[in-house]
Structure 1
């Protein structure tokens, strides 16, 4: 009887357990941990989406265009003026080297200075872009200004061509890259509806800088000499770019600030979950879900290379850039061979740069209305067609170069100098 009673009580107990819902029958350890897990998940859901939106979806903020964006555009304009104006004005330096300081060197040897300058600026873009993303655009531009100033001062003390390769070529290109790419990409963070116009105004600074720097450099060569001219330009770089860098303000947080925020939010999250300031750091570090609030970011993102349209755009930009700097570098020497003076050659280089500023602004404005791709196709076709047609006309004028017919030849050069109005539109439309 006693055993029967025990069996009956056991059956009653089992029957009572069957009446309990399954979701309430859990292991004791699970029952104790579940509230903390639920709280942590709720906290992560409340924290993560907001910050991911700020981190990875920065262009959403530009729906509200603010007036300070035009201050950023103005600062980018002057940075572009110094950087691109100096890079595009290398033809003035090359002409000076051929006739004075390095007249024993060939044109081929001296042209490598400008080539290394451009290579140093463009090829280091992936590296300097990562530096700008991590340190911030303001810090990157400041460092670039210092490097460019030091490189130009070192150039003024150089006595060998190989030294110019290092200082005026590679080192200046590296500093230019640190300042150029932030000034190129920052205006787009402040504008959406007028993004093309804002970017066009910013990059028009390169044309304006060339319009001013090239004739001014030639004039200073004749007054204070080559070496003090280069030192003066170095001081102007520091005086213009450093103040402009302090006006740079990004609307997307830098990688350094993002890392600090993640650590701070991790600490706050641990305090909310475990009720203490520090809990089992080794365990949390071994679990990626507890140590980061966002995806791990690689040093260089190659995922865009899988996009076919992006690859086509890169190829187009590559072939456009192959002939982009040739007129700027060889134009002064070319026109002097056909009878132009040094001052006229530098003036035409200034016109070459100034006309490009018109193309940059106008094509940037056009892209806001007809679209980036349409602007790119139209401008590319017109640029290619105009180069073919105008050079045919220029070739017919070569035999007529003389002191009596120089005004006619000069007008032909001016037409050639205005070509970047169309050529620059290709570059702006591809930004």
Structure 2
């Protein structure tokens, strides 16, 4: 940071140094200092910042915890509510729901960069709870697709995007830990919701199960709206909604492509492991618990991944967790309780590490004022991978009747994603070196004022 004891000396071969009054020079120095603080120095802690993390965490749990529990709904719909539909058709509901969690990123990023936070959070909270109650009344496939796929998906997507973005304004050096704690809310409630659903379905049926889940989400979202808040005022001079110039940066293009292939496969194991366990003759109760195990363990994966991403390069953490693609090759061969439990634990650790680390690289690719744009564009394109992943897996299973082929497809997609991450890391390191060199040249022009 600049201090009042520094003066700014502009060196140019074309123009002589400008002669300004000491007052004007002092005002410029203060202005530069204020911009530097806003751009480069989030609080990185404090009660207010951690309250924001708490609010985002329970909001993520209330909304995305429902989305990540889709494997439980997939199994129930195939066995009961939508048993006349194919596995691939039912998977489209969950796939659309997951894809819509990323799809609003472009619009949400623009609103966030303009300084809007509380209004999108409140609107998404109200509409999410409404869609939960509407899903309880669904009886036809198109109704489930509309209310659960699009309704719950889009509303949860608004919060997922803006909740991820707001933490970049409050944290920098500890951003990985903040994101890990926030996303751990997904894991905790992604563990609780399947257990609640499995238990309530046996006693009160589908309608009241969904209503009770809706009331739980309502209580959590009230707390979220009371604690989460933005920090920067935003700007209205943002340029085009979709800024193609970002894709001229190789690091951005390769990183987004890696995330697209990642999301073609990342959640396939958690979606189909319950069904594979039931088909293998494993106890139905334990089979439903596998999704809860994955979500619970992913909280540990998020915390470890987030702390490692703060200490080391976050893309290195992503590469190491994505190399766990071997799990996707292996889980279809698990047919006993012990092997299925081990598979669920390892899947949870690897997916948690990915979720905790995927936002940080966006923050490093440009100005903090534009971080909403970069995350929003990236997440919107990730929608392609999310929306296609589960239906492709469902189509493969419907055509071959083998979960092993689903695992081969998912593992291959994750290997390709890891390879693209390696390329993205190379370009990100080059970008960091160039930025440090540029910043160093800028600092060399700041010399102490002569007494």
Superposition deviation, residue 52 in structure 1: 10
Superposition deviation, residue 342 in structure 1: 3.1
After superposition, the C-alpha distances for 1:122-181 in whole angstroms (9 at most, x for unaligned) are 122212332344462222111111111111111111121001111100111110111111
In the alignment, is residue 305 of structure 1 matched against residue 225 of structure 2? Answer: no
Q: RMSD between aligned alpha carbons?
A: 2.7
Assess, with a 3 A threshold, how the Cα gap between structure 1 residues 314 and 52 changes in structure 2: closer, same or farther. Answer: farther
Q: 1:420 — aligned with what?
A: 348
Alignment of 1:61-100 (within 5 A): 61-63=41-43, 65-100=45-80
After superposition, the C-alpha distances for 1:234-259 in whole angstroms (9 at most, x for unaligned) are 2222211132122112221145xxx6
After superposition, the C-alpha distances for 1:11-48 in whole angstroms (9 at most, x for unaligned) are xxxxxxxxxxxxxxxxxxxxxxxxxxx99xx99x9599
In the alignment, the residues of structure 1 paired with residue 223 and residue 137 of structure 2 have an alpha-carbon distance, to the nearest angstrom, of: 26
**Contact 2:278-2:284 at 8 Å conserved across structures:** yes
After superposition, the C-alpha distances for 1:79-129 in whole angstroms (9 at most, x for unaligned) are 111222111111111211122222222222211110111122212221233
After superposition, the C-alpha distances for 1:370-416 in whole angstroms (9 at most, x for unaligned) are 222322222222x124444x44xx62x64xxxxxxxxxx11111111
In the alignment, the residues of structure 2 paired with residue 88 and residue 370 of structure 1 have an alpha-carbon distance, to the nearest angstrom, of: 28
Assess, with a 3 A threshold, how the Cα gap between structure 1 residues 378 and 46 changes in structure 2: closer, same or farther. Answer: same
**Contact 2:183-2:302 at 8 Å conserved across structures:** yes
Larger Rg: 1
Q: Single out whichever of 152-161 and 187-196 deviates more from structure 2.
A: 187-196
In the alignment, the residues of structure 1 paired with residue 41 and residue 53 of structure 2 have an alpha-carbon distance, to the nearest angstrom, of: 17
| Secondary structure, aligned partner of 1:192 | coil
In the alignment, the residues of structure 2 paired with residue 201 and residue 244 of structure 1 have an alpha-carbon distance, to the nearest angstrom, of: 14
Superposition deviation, residue 49 in structure 1: 7.9
In the alignment, the residues of structure 2 paired with residue 296 and residue 198 of structure 1 have an alpha-carbon distance, to the nearest angstrom, of: 27
**Contact 1:145-1:241 at 8 Å conserved across structures:** yes
Alignment of 1:223-262 (within 5 A): 223-255=203-235
In the alignment, the residues of structure 2 paired with residue 254 and residue 193 of structure 1 have an alpha-carbon distance, to the nearest angstrom, of: 22
In the alignment, is residue 374 of structure 1 matched against residue 316 of structure 2? Answer: yes
Of the three residues 282, 285, 290, the one matched with 1:340 is: 282
In the alignment, the residues of structure 2 paired with residue 82 and residue 63 of structure 1 have an alpha-carbon distance, to the nearest angstrom, of: 27
Q: Single out whichever of 335-344 and 111-120 deviates more from structure 2.
A: 335-344
In the alignment, the residues of structure 2 paired with residue 352 and residue 162 of structure 1 have an alpha-carbon distance, to the nearest angstrom, of: 29
Q: 2:149 — aligned with what?
A: 169
In the alignment, is residue 429 of structure 1 matched against residue 357 of structure 2? Answer: yes
Superposition deviation, residue 184 in structure 1: 1.6
| Secondary structure, aligned partner of 1:122 | coil
In the alignment, the residues of structure 2 paired with residue 195 and residue 174 of structure 1 have an alpha-carbon distance, to the nearest angstrom, of: 25
Alignment of 1:204-215 (within 5 A): 204-215=184-195
In the alignment, the residues of structure 2 paired with residue 52 and residue 359 of structure 1 have an alpha-carbon distance, to the nearest angstrom, of: 38
TM-score when normalising by structure 2: 0.69
Assess, with a 3 A threshold, how the Cα gap between structure 1 residues 306 and 57 changes in structure 2: closer, same or farther. Answer: farther
Q: 1:404 — aligned with what?
A: none
Number of paired residues?
Answer: 338
Highest RCO, 1 vs 2 (Cα 8 Å, sep ≥ 6): 2
In the alignment, the residues of structure 2 paired with residue 91 and residue 130 of structure 1 have an alpha-carbon distance, to the nearest angstrom, of: 32
In the alignment, the residues of structure 1 paired with residue 290 and residue 274 of structure 2 have an alpha-carbon distance, to the nearest angstrom, of: 8
Q: Single out whichever of 309-318 and 125-134 deviates more from structure 2.
A: 125-134
In the alignment, the residues of structure 1 paired with residue 202 and residue 169 of structure 2 have an alpha-carbon distance, to the nearest angstrom, of: 43
